[in-house]
Chain A
Amino acid sequence: MTGKENIPDANVEANENVDHWVHSTCNLCSIGCGCEIGVKDDKIVGIKGEVSHSINMGKLDPKAKDQWYANYSKDRLLTPMVRNENGELEKATWEEAMDLMVEQAKKTLKNKGPDGFSIYSTGQGFLEDFYTIAKVGRAGIGTHLLDANTRLCTATTEWCLLQSFGSDGVPASFEDFDHAETVMLFGHNPAETGTVLFDRIMERKNRTGKPYLIVVDPRETASAKEADLHLSLKPGTNAALLNGIIRQIISDGNIDRDYISRNTIEFNSMRNSIEEWTLAKTSAMTGIPEEQLTLAAKVLGETPSLVSTTLQGAFQSSDATTACVAINNLHLMRGLIGKPGCGPFHMAGQPSSSGNRTVGGVGTYPGNRNPANPDHLNEMAELWNIDAEKLEIGPEKGIMKQIEMIENDKISFFWNIHTNPLVSLPNRQRAKKALEKAFVVVQDPFLTETTEVADIVLPPAMWGEKEGTMENADRTINLLRKAVEPPEGVKSDFEILVEFSNRMGFKDKDGNPLIQYTTPEEAFEEWKKVSKGRPSDMSGMTYELLEKEKGIRWPATEDKPEGTTRLYEDQTFPTNIDYCQSFGKDPITGRPKTKAEFQQKNADGRAIFQPTYYFGSPEMPQDEYPFWLNTGRLLWHWHTRTKTARSKKLEEKAPRAYVEMNEDDAYSLRINQDDLVRVTSPRGEIQLPVHVDNRINQGEVFIPFHYGNWDGEQSANEMTMDVVDPVSHQPILKQAVCKVEKIS
């Protein structure tokens, strides 16, 4: 970094003299930037980047600097609300709201059993909340229907790691970006999402010329503009592109045969699966000229070090897990993993979605335990002092499956914590109709599009008002100290969960309350014991150490409390049958493999090459719907804008949705800049102004997904496809078909 790193990015209210600064972490994206919260008279008055934090070195991006305004928004909820007989939400006491919640929960358990109950949480809470969700959900309620908006965000990260390496855990770290000769951003646009990471890459590139930057994205995004090689592929062809490049690298002989034979299995099966992908065929499918493919194969085949990131352009596209697994295959066949400057880096979207996966609030059992391995469940039962029969076996059910279950009256209690699915889920009108059937509890500081279907709304404390930890995209656990007391009338997520458990009367085997910890720090101490000996071992961490070290990457054992910069430096992978987190899934159907099938592989510490068959999008442009619809983020907003829309500055920058369209398409439809158009897909239609911009290819349109109140805001998710990737069950939000018609 240059000398500028000593001047932190900050936003402190003018004329305020800060009483003190409190250690914290940005609560928006998965980069996990360290920051300090300025406090005056027990009120947050500012934020500044943490200069000594190794991830951001004092930097913060625009939306991060405004994240505290929402805490003081006038429309913040300061009391629970309950839907009355007239169908309106009205204020209630905590006593009334919790009584009703517990009554309905007990009714559900009695009438439908544990799987009538679902918890749909978030990637924006704290590890201690997620761990408590896991414990209350699994050991208290007994449900395996624990999902989160991480399904829309990082489910593919988890599953591509399980398929290739046997356990979750992103192999590389942010430090590796500083050493890599080549960085490939695959469906990842950090210049407009996690800008601090992009600045870190570009600062080095401007100074040294390195890394060689490859960007894979159908649009010429702000990241693509800076690339040495921009591969602008057709929508839905990620897996085809990687198959072509990997096949070429193999036929050029640029593979590390020793590494492959020592540390991996099933290379030939992978190679056979891509045999048909000549450069000519790949070019025809992806629309990328052969010369560019040749160059990509040469660079990726010869570079001595490589970090490859993936994000929503990979995760929310068709063949999502296949494409991410192909990236793992690329690193394995070149031996570019577990070394400085090397490794696949499958990102997360939200600030702690990885943490939710790690502690079992979503997905598998806490500490990367395998839900199909009875020994792991017995271990959990012992740790939680409950009967093992209480713990349900088998992988979780994703939100789209849960919507189906609600439609079929299988789930009748839906607890929605800190997320806004009625803006973020695909085909949201269908999701709304379904949720209207269930008893819905929404935990959110504001009335949102989702509280429209809530029976109870519980107002939680916000960032800065509670203590806990978050896990970022590179396994760093960061601490967030409480800066101020929450306003009167709200409770933290942690307090709500513990109170619910106690009111439900959940007990351990000895008749003691299931949840015996009373503070987040005590919860963290319990979690440490659960994590011990597992891939995400955190037994060497303490809150004090986390603050002092400005974050520590797991595993951080008692013997090695400083943590681990990158995984697999010894080239041993967690694929031992008794240790692995999953027996894997069939790549075509997603059918979970049995233990016997996994045993036959005999991976035993070696990484697994997976076949990568290309299928493409389930929906393709046709006469009636000739355009591809792509959706994504804007620099100024985060998710469904519950927080960022409450910053005047951010809202002014991007107050409404629009549709981005190529100039030639606009011309052929006689559409001009800012004309109002109707965009229609097989699922719905919206009306919005046009931005003519040649950064998008002909035949494609782009709409930001942040918008969608029920009062006329136009939501991209009226139109998106409600189908999922077979392995990760992540919805295919980035490909749907549509038509565009001029209105005015």
Chain B
Amino acid sequence: MSLRVHFQYVGKLAEELLEEADLTNTPLEYRYRTALREKETHVRKTLDLLKQKNHDPDNLLNAISIVYKSDEVEKLHFNGWKRLCQQNKTIKEEVLSKLETKFSRMKTELEEAVPYVKSIAKGHKDSRIIVPALYRD
């Protein structure tokens, strides 16, 4: 496994989620989808940079950092949105749980990618700046 493999999978899941239409057209859904889109963009950017032989490590680490940080805020809004959907019974449980599975999987992938991020960051930056605490624990 490598950072590339984990990020590719995250990118694929993010794309799948973004391809689905808005379900409620509400602020929380808009916010989590915006974060998801930003994450997807920076996953692609990371993968492009990884392909380049002489990539700028700061540039690469910045993109990786945005991926993690987007993932973290996207979960906050997704979970809030999911709760409101459940409380208001606006979306079926099966639909919500399918979405949740994908969101959780992305987090797991990012957690598993941490050792690779650490090795890229070594000598450049404290990897704790790149990867939020709750992905490292």
Contact = CB atoms under 8 A, between A and B. Distances in A.
Interface string A575-617: 0000000000010111110111100000000000000000111
A590 B73 contact: yes
B27 interface: yes
A590 B62 contact: no
Contacts of A619: 84, 88
Contacts of B132: 394
Nearest to B134: A115
Interface stretch (A30-38, A133-141, A300-308, A716-724): A716-724
A589 B84 contact: no
Contacts of A589: 31-32, 34-35, 38, 70, 73-74, 77
- What band does the interface of chain A fall in when counting residues whose beta carbon is under 8 Å from B? 35 or more
B65 interface: yes
A591 B83 contact: no
Contacts of A397: 134
Contacts of A113: 137
Given A115-B137, A588-B34, A594-B62, A618 B28 contact: yes
A722 B80 contact: yes
A594 B87 contact: no
Given A144-B133, A393-B128, A596-B58, A683 B87 contact: yes
Interface in B104-137: 126, 128-129, 132-134, 137
Contacts of B133: 115, 144, 392-394
A556 interface: no
Given A393-B128, A393-B129, A590 B87 contact: no
The A contact surface, by secondary structure, is loop
Contact of A618 (B27, B58, B128): B27
Contacts of B58: 596
B6 to A, nearest CB: 20
B14 interface: no
Contacts of B8: none
A397 B58 CA distance: 27
A393 B136 CA distance: 11
A393 B135 CA distance: 12
A733 to B, nearest CB: 14
Nearest to A398: B76
A501 B31 CA distance: 41
B69 A591 contact: yes
Contacts of A318: 27
A372 B69 CA distance: 12
B79 interface: yes
A724 B87 contact: no
Nearest to A622: B88
Given A589-B31, A591-B70, A682-B88, A724 B80 contact: yes
B83 A723 contact: yes
Contacts of B65: 594
Contacts of B126: 374, 393
A618 B26 contact: yes
Contacts of B72: 591
B136 to A, nearest CB: 9
A618 B80 contact: yes
A726 interface: yes
Interface string A111-137: 001010000000000000000000000
B43 interface: no
A617 B27 contact: yes
Contacts of A374: 126, 129
A653 interface: no
Interface string B75-103: 01101110110011100000000000000
Given A591-B35, A619-B88, A722 B83 contact: yes
B84 A721 contact: yes
A404 interface: yes
Contacts of A595: 129
A401 interface: yes
Given A115-B137, A617-B27, A726-B76, 5 more contacts: A374-B126, A404-B79, A616-B27, A618-B28, A618-B81
Interface of A: 113, 115, 144, 318, 372, 374, 392-394, 397, 401, 404-405, 410, 586, 588-592, 594-597, 615-619, 682-683, 721-724, 726, 729
18 contacts: A144-B133, A318-B27, A392-B133, A393-B128, A394-B128, A588-B31, A589-B31, A589-B35, A589-B74, A590-B31, A591-B35, A594-B65, A618-B27, A618-B28, A618-B80, A618-B81, A723-B80, A726-B31
- The 7 A-B residue pairs with the shortest CB-CB distance, nearest first, are A723-B80, A615-B27, A682-B87, A589-B35, A393-B128, A596-B62, A591-B73
